Structure 1
Amino acid sequence: MENNGLDIGSAPDRLLDAALCHVAFDGWSEMTFRAAAEDSGIGVDLARVVCPRGALDLAAAYHRRGDRLMAAAYMATDLTGLKIRERVALAVRLRLEAADREAVRRGAALFALPQHAAEGAALIWGTADAIWHALGDTSDDINWYSKRATLGAVYSAVVLYWLGDESEGHGASWEFLDRRVEDVMRFEKFKARVREMPVLGAALAGPLKALGRIKRPDGAPRDLPGRVGEGERT
């Protein structure tokens, strides 16, 4: 689809690329959106068609671009000999290395606003899902949700630490990341041991059976809603 010689399909990327030159100064704001529309040659009216919510859509698009860059970088990495915890940490690190810190800082401020908090949470969930998808996660039950919820919490904590990290090469951030991933792995081991304990295992049998009926969502896009049993939606 074209409009006066403009490839509409390329418009979102052109707008986003143009916006990044302004985000450090004006944040993900209406001023940035208008400047991006002008700089890209798209114009404000057409930019509104591409991004109806203006800079909010651009900020969300920037976040999702980071997820795609992470996945591509992860797939291009030699993973030979890496344990699962090392692969998780690597994916999170690649996700942050693909980002501009000031753009992320401004995005964090935007999605911290009450009216945008739900969207911010959905984007973090999407990042956790993209990481597990890149790792080849095949879970299709309650673990599909718990893995993403746990990793989303880890990712959020690491981002906040990374935003204030002035250490060389962000080394302190990667050490913080390793500690958080190790904490998660210890918790997973603890859960496994609890299930093997006779008394607790028997007490949890009923709740675990009920949770076992929860299934991951079908089809794409992968999102929060899931399935219970066969065809019952939660």
Structure 2
Amino acid sequence: MADLSDATLDELREALAAELPAQAAFDGWKPAAVDAAADALGVDRDVARLAFPGGAVDMIDAWFAQVDREMEARLPAEQLSNLKIRDRITRLLETRLDILAPDREALRRALAILAMPQNAPRAVKLGWRSADLMWRMAGDTATDFNHYTKRVTLSLVYSSTIMAFLDDESDDFADTRAFLARRIDNVMQFEKVKAKWRGAGGERPSLTRFIGRLRYPAI
């Protein structure tokens, strides 16, 4: 176990983030979960609470950042470089699901908190952050309209897949993986439409209609 006696709050937050979901599954995203995580790491409880001044949402933010770091560690650039873009995105999303799989109850509780109206701006920010990281890991360098549409669509694919994942009891989450494959098909179709539009100088494809298809897909 790492010595955290002289850790900064940022270092302490990162260390606690790895412990929090196991505790939050039982205690909820509450101070009790921070206390239990602090005990597991041998950290003073009062100091540990200072790492999450915003309460539950800060705790969830730290956990999602930990998932981002774990995804980067599991998928170094050389593992993705020889894959097609579609396969890179699929691999990234499936890896996130693998990381989250042991903590589905904590995830369910976290999403319920983020769904509260007062937490909506933070929820959007967290979704964007993960989508941006996945596109950058996939090699995307777009800076124009494409930059935004890619991240919006991936955020929606990820969120809709998570909803399927939370209730999936199939072996190795086969139903979720099939659901994800269909959503990736939607994204690839949208990218093709955008490419044709750019080449022909036609009317910009409707992002609103596309978002509607992702949010309420025909399964």
TM-score range, shorter chain: 0.7 to 0.9
Q: What are structure 2's unaligned runs of at least 5 residues?
A: 205-219
1:102 aligns with 2:101: no
1:184 aligns with 2:187: yes
Structure with the greater relative contact order (CA < 8 A, sep ≥ 6): 1 or 2?
2
- Which digits, 9 at most, give the CA deviation of each residue in 1:12-44, with x for residues without a partner? 134334433321112112332333344444334
What is the CA distance between 1:130 and its match in structure 2? 0.7
* Separation of aligned partners in 2, 1:171 and 1:112: 26
What is the CA distance between 1:80 and its match in structure 2? 6.5
Question: Residues 89 and 138 of structure 2 are in contact (CA less than 8 Å); yes or no, is this contact kept in structure 1?
Answer: yes
The residue number in structure 1 matching 2:92 is 91
The residue number in structure 1 matching 2:6 is 7
* Separation of aligned partners in 2, 1:115 and 1:138: 33
- How high is the TM-score relative to the length of structure 2? 0.80
The residue number in structure 1 matching 2:26 is 25
**Greater helix percent: which structure?**
2
CA spacing shift, 1:36–1:79, aligned 2, 3 Å: closer
Of 113, 117, 140, 1:114 maps to 117
1:132 aligns with 2:131: no
1:142 corresponds to which letter in structure 2?
Answer: F
* Separation of aligned partners in 2, 1:60 and 1:26: 17
- Which digits, 9 at most, give the CA deviation of each residue in 1:68-95, with x for residues without a partner? 1112222166347532111111111111
Q: Which structure is larger by alpha-carbon Rg, 1 or 2?
A: 1
2:56 corresponds to which letter in structure 1?
Answer: A
Q: What are structure 1's unaligned runs of at least 5 residues?
A: 205-234
* Separation of aligned partners in 1, 2:59 and 2:22: 13
Where does 1:136-175 land on structure 2 (aligned, <5 Å)? 136-175=139-178
- How high is the TM-score relative to the length of structure 1? 0.76
Number of positions where the alignment pairs a residue of Structure 1 with one of Structure 2? 198
* Separation of aligned partners in 1, 2:17 and 2:79: 31
CA spacing shift, 1:52–1:73, aligned 2, 3 Å: same
Aligned-pair Cα RMSD in Å: 2.3
